[in-house]
């Protein structure tokens, strides 16, 4: 084992951001703003440097680490531990999380400059980094679940960061509740694996995968028996649907834009929402044994990739366009998982982390330049005012739509080809969804790009209500300006990998042995990766071939359409919106998912709650059992009280009557016949 992968060094990776979070959170007033950002950035920088060293050791020296760091409880034969598993998948995720987090920390200095919650914000984003690192570095399901819940908690705190805004509080509660639904499935999946596998450890559970695949449940309602592993994998994926915002548990992510822009880049582009993708890739030895689960993953991913992209077309808030783009791209990653192309999904996760963080931070830079106006209809012509933001946003957009040689091209086209090669029943629908999604992505990305950076200037109007009211009272009628260097430097540093990272890493990550012991694929049944490897002749050849392939022409068509619609003949979109008013209504209401959730699921849950409260608790438990028994005792006591008069003659009479009654009962067998005879019976 390489010396670099020492336990202490690995421990420093999550603990350094945690130390920064504690310093900024508990001692923020004492250390001040400068102290808060210095300590948290230092913590994340240490984590990034060690993560980069770890990646080098794993990729070049072949180093691996899978050990328990601390055992805190043994329950029967079940060990509850804190432990780290470091292989290609972990090392790559550690670098992505720490690098994007570092860029966001630096960017935040400029973005949150005037915010009164400055130290609190730095404490939250450092705590988030710690939580995410614990999740990706875990070697057991208990620690995975700890990290999973911790990132959910911190995202709740960050989305509702401006806690005086009612919309922010509504959004963070929505995120929290929707994730509870997913996490219920997640913990059921872990519970099934632990109950039948007898261990929380990944390695031990994966070693028993073959045995677990033989276990069946009797079908509760119909059909043949259910495979336990299929049920467990689907439950685990329901957890991923919540965290990675897959349909229909996607509804929280667009609303989470209520938080400050830096967290959009941190949570909703690079890290938290990719936790579900990472988890399914990590559990590949189990998912590979269940075609049912893979089909479920494939279809859910395809629905998300296509239908969330459509919603991006009609958004006017700059952050929401990028948010729906994230939903769509997460759908692409999920489709790749369903096609058993786990390495392609993780590859797209990595490339997407860079260009989507870049686009979010670019959007934030535009918001700063526009004095916190987020409506793209109030922008236009910003290219000459914000040259660095313009060029970096253009590079990010080109990567997003899959322009050959850019990072997004290599990962996105690999997903499309992997789905095309899959033989699962859901693959044809998924292929259609991801192909159409290429045009849709290009259209909404460049619609936003053209409206923001080109065309007529629309910002010399009445100020649009800002993102928050304590930043700037000058209004949007001032000229836009380029952002300070703490904002533009992260944009430049994120733009570089957005362009080159795919070209540099596609060979080792998809067709080399970088993920050899982290991801398992049953090639006898699932051929997608083999077919991709057969067709791959190098990164340059792939880009050259990409220029003639269908996705490139669809992307180009999307860009040209956006240019014609919004730059050349801007009356076309209004005409289309008027002609297809019912369709636009459906899109503007987000497929009525919020209405369905609030008026059907939430209303049903409330009705059940009210029924249990009024019928079960108030009527049955309080009314019958508690108050009813009290009333019965009171009634009996009332009767007894009438007998207890306290007068001696009354007690004597009762005693005499009692003696007469007792004697009559004893003598009745003898005197009864005579009495009946006298009475004539």
pLDDT digits (tens, 9 = 90+) for 454-510: 877 776 644 444 444 444 444 445 677 777 787 888 888 888 988 888 888 888 888
223 band by pLDDT with thresholds 50, 70 and 90? low
Distance CA 599, CA 107 (A): 40
Dig out the tokens for 537 from the structure: 């002749």
354-374 burial code (b ≥16 CB/10 A, e <16): bbbbbbbbbbbbbbbbbbbbb
DSSP per residue over 304-339, as a string? HHHHHHHHHHT--BHHHHHHHHHHHHHHHHHHHHHT
439 band by pLDDT with thresholds 50, 70 and 90? very high
Interaxial angle between packed helices 387-400 and 342-369, expressed in degrees from 0 to 180 and rounded to the nearest 10: 160
Distance CA 472, CA 469 (A): 7
Distance CA 526, CA 515 (A): 17
Distance CA 557, CA 26 (A): 53
606 band by pLDDT with thresholds 50, 70 and 90? confident
Dig out the tokens for 544 from the structure: 């050259």
pLDDT given for residue 464 in this prediction: 41
In sequence order, the 6+-apart residues with CB closer than 8 A to the CB of 226 are 216, 217, 218, 219
601 band by pLDDT with thresholds 50, 70 and 90? confident
Peptide bond into 249 cis (omega under 30): no
| Contact indicator for 382, 431 with CB cutoff of 8 Å | no
- Return the closest-CA partner of residue 303 out of 560, 600, 593: 593
DSSP-assigned beta bridge partners for residue 80: 73
Q: What is the mean pLDDT of residues 357-375?
A: 83
Percent of the chain with pLDDT over 90: 13
Distance CA 617, CA 623 (A): 8
The predicted-structure confidence for 18-55, as pLDDT tens digits, reads as follows: 998 998 888 878 888 888 888 899 999 999 999 998 88
Distance CA 281, CA 258 (A): 30
Lowest mean pLDDT among 56-65, 467-476, 584-593: 467-476
Lowest mean pLDDT among 142-156, 524-538, 541-555: 524-538
Dig out the tokens for 596 from the structure: 């369905």
pLDDT given for residue 63 in this prediction: 82
Return phi, psi of residue 375, to 5°.
-85, 120
Helix, strand counts (H, E) of the chain: 29, 4
Lowest mean pLDDT among 253-267, 408-422, 431-445, 554-568: 253-267
301 pLDDT exceeds 60?
yes
Residue 263, helix vs strand vs coil: helix
Contacts 24+ apart (CB under 8 A), 431-435: 432/302, 433/302, 433/303, 433/305, 433/306, 433/331, 433/335, 434/302, 434/305, 434/306, 434/332, 434/335, 435/550, 435/551, 435/554
- Return the closest-CA partner of residue 274 out of 94, 519, 78, 70: 94
DSSP-assigned beta bridge partners for residue 67: 84
590 pLDDT exceeds 80?
no
Q: Where is pLDDT greater, at 310 or 455?
A: 310
103 pLDDT exceeds 50?
yes
Residue 454, helix vs strand vs coil: coil
259 band by pLDDT with thresholds 50, 70 and 90? confident
- Return the closest-CA partner of residue 342 out of 295, 286, 284: 284
498-510 burial code (b ≥16 CB/10 A, e <16): bbebbbebbeebb
Beta strands in 542-609 (DSSP E): none
pLDDT given for residue 221 in this prediction: 66
The predicted-structure confidence for 607-647, as pLDDT tens digits, reads as follows: 898 888 888 888 888 888 888 888 888 888 888 887 777 78
Q: What is the mean pLDDT of residues 358-384?
A: 81
| Contact indicator for 107, 9 with CB cutoff of 8 Å | no
Between the CA atoms of 368, 467, 105 and 388, what dihedral angle is there, to the nearest 10 degrees? -20
DSSP-assigned beta bridge partners for residue 73: 80
| Contact indicator for 356, 272 with CB cutoff of 8 Å | no
pLDDT given for residue 70 in this prediction: 85
- Return the closest-CA partner of residue 399 out of 357, 435, 364, 436: 357
| Contact indicator for 219, 151 with CB cutoff of 8 Å | no
Peptide bond into 95 cis (omega under 30): no
The predicted-structure confidence for 487-496, as pLDDT tens digits, reads as follows: 888 888 888 9
pLDDT given for residue 188 in this prediction: 92
| Contact indicator for 95, 351 with CB cutoff of 8 Å | no
Q: What is the mean pLDDT of residues 544-552?
A: 85
Q: What is the mean pLDDT of residues 259-266?
A: 78
Distances (CA, A) of 302 to 334, 342, 397, 418, 433: 8, 15, 22, 13, 6
Distance CA 170, CA 186 (A): 24
Average pLDDT, the chain: 84
185 pLDDT exceeds 80?
yes
69 band by pLDDT with thresholds 50, 70 and 90? confident
Give burial (CB, 10 Å; 0-12/13-18/19+) of 297.
buried
pLDDT given for residue 435 in this prediction: 92
Q: What is the CA radius of gyration of the chain?
A: 32
In sequence order, the 6+-apart residues with CB closer than 8 A to the CB of 628 are none
pLDDT given for residue 269 in this prediction: 64
């Amino acid at each position: 084992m390489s010396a670099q992968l020492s336990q202490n060094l690995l421990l420093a990776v999550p603990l350094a951001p945690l130390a920064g979070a504690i310093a900024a959170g508990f001692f923020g007033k004492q250390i001040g703003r400068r102290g808060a950002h210095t300590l948290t950035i230092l913590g994340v920088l240490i984590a990034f440097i060690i993560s980069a060293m770890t990646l080098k050791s794993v990729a070049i020296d072949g180093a691996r680490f899978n050990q328990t760091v601390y055992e805190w409880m043994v329950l029967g034969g079940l060990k509850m531990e804190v432990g780290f598993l470091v292989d290609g998948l972990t090392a790559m995720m550690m670098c992505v999380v720490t690098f994007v987090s570092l860029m966001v920390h630096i960017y935040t200095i400029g973005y949150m400059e005037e915010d009164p919650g400055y130290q609190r914000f730095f404490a939250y984003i450092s705590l988030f980094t710690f939580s995410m690192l614990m999740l990706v570095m875990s070697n057991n399901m208990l620690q995975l679940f700890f990290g999973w819940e911790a990132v959910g908690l911190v995202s709740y705190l960050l989305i509702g960061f401006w806690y005086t805004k009612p919309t922010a509080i509504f959004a963070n509660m929505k995120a929290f509740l929707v994730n509870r639904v997913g996490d219920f499935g997640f913990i059921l999946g872990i519970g099934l694996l632990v109950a039948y596998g007898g261990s929380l450890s990944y390695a031990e559970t994966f070693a028993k995968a073959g045995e677990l695949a033989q276990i069946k449940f009797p079908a509760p309602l119909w059909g043949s028996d259910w495979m336990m592993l299929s049920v467990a994998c689907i439950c685990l994926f329901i957890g991923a649907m919540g965290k990675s915002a897959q349909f229909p548990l996607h509804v929280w992510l667009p609303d989470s834009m209520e938080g400050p822009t830096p967290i959009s880049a941190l949570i909703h582009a690079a890290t938290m929402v990719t936790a579900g993708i990472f988890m399914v890739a990590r559990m590949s030895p189990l998912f590979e044994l269940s075609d049912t689960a893979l089909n479920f993953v494939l279809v859910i991913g395809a629905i998300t990739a296509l239908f969330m992209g459509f919603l991006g077309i009609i958004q006017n808030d700059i952050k929401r366009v990028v948010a729906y783009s994230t939903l769509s791209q997460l759908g692409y990653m999920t489709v790749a998982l369903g096609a058993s192309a786990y390495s392609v999904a993780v590859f797209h996760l990595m490339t997407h982390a860079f260009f989507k963080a870049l686009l979010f931070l670019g959007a934030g830079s535009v918001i700063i330049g526009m004095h916190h106006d987020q409506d793209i209809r109030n922008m236009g012509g910003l290219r000459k005012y914000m040259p660095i933001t313009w060029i970096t946003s253009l590079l990010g957009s080109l990567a997003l739509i899959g322009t050959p040689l850019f990072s997004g091209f290599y990962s996105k086209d690999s997903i499309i080809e992997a789905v095309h090669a899959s033989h699962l029943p859901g693959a044809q629908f998924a292929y259609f969804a991801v192909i159409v999604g290429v045009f849709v992505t290009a259209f909404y990305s460049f619609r936003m790009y053209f409206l923001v950076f080109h065309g007529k200037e629309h910002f010399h109007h009445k100020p649009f209500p800002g993102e928050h009211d304590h930043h700037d009272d000058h209004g949007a009628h001032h000229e836009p300006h380029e952002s300070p260097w703490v904002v533009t430097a992260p944009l430049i540093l994120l733009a570089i990998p957005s362009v080159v990272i795919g070209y540099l890493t596609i060979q080792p990550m998809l067709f080399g042995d970088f993920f050899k012991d982290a991801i398992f694929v049953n090639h006898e049944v699932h051929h997608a990766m083999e077919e991709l490897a057969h067709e791959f002749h190098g990164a340059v050849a792939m880009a050259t071939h990409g220029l003639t392939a269908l996705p490139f022409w669809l992307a180009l068509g999307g860009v040209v359409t956006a240019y014609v619609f919004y730059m050349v003949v801007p009356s076309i979109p209004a005409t289309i919106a008027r002609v297809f008013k019912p369709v636009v209504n459906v899109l503007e209401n987000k497929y009525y998912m919020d209405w369905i959730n609030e008026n059907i699921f939430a209303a049903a849950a409330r009705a059940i709650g009210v029924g249990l409260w009024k019928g079960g608790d108030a009527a049955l438990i309080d009314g019958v059992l508690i108050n009813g028994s009290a009333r019965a005792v009171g009634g009996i006591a009332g009767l007894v009280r009438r007998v207890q008069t306290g007068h001696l003659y009354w007690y004597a009479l009762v005693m005499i009557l009692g003696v007469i009654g007792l004697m009559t009962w004893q003598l009745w067998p003898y005197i009864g016949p005579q009495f009946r005879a006298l009475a004539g019976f």
